[in-house]
Structure 1
């Protein structure tokens, strides 16, 4: 192995771990929901794909999270699991993962899960989402349960 290939491999691993670290920051941010904290985790021209539509640019993403947090005031905890690197090129990591959330609303306990499919820009001083796809598979309260396929 040449010094150059070793250096390239090390840089690749550092970029991948930097991207994975963004998942931790994102989950912690959702646990203390503040749209002004979430939006800066995205590049200025990022694209967010959600079950309710696509949002292009940091301002549109800020508007999405502002509405989402206002519409759902439950207290949640988010867990991101089974992260897998799909692709890597210098400065960008493509990760997919599962997410799970549990929460407490005013009168119900809630649970949900789904997948993230993300392209993360790791070329700057901090990692940022360039493109994020949120696919919610189940979102329900515990009295309804997920057997009925509630979303």
Structure 2
């Protein structure tokens, strides 16, 4: 998928994560994304992971997957229903003095967040988040 998208300058993704059976032995999450073309066609779909129970972690992992497949120097529009995720990533990106030590204060998700920030910086990506209301009439 990354090879197929390598020449793109702009990508638009819709991401989502879900948690079922929270606080039980059967707790499970999944994370997925779709990539949308300029003509609003779904060009790529990816779904993965189970048994990693945290709704924020599922949302973060979906974002991580989109960044992994995005080419260097690309503008990436990410549509998500998680305002918490948007706030966390934007806060870290806007604090230039945020150190690696600060990541350890982000309990439970610091490794995923660290990878997200590292990929954004190393690939020189321009990330634009759009908050979409969950379960509304948005087709994607």
Question: TM-score normalised to the size of structure 2?
Answer: 0.27
Higher fraction of strand: 1
- Higher relative CO (Cα under 8 Å, sequence separation at least 6) belongs to 2
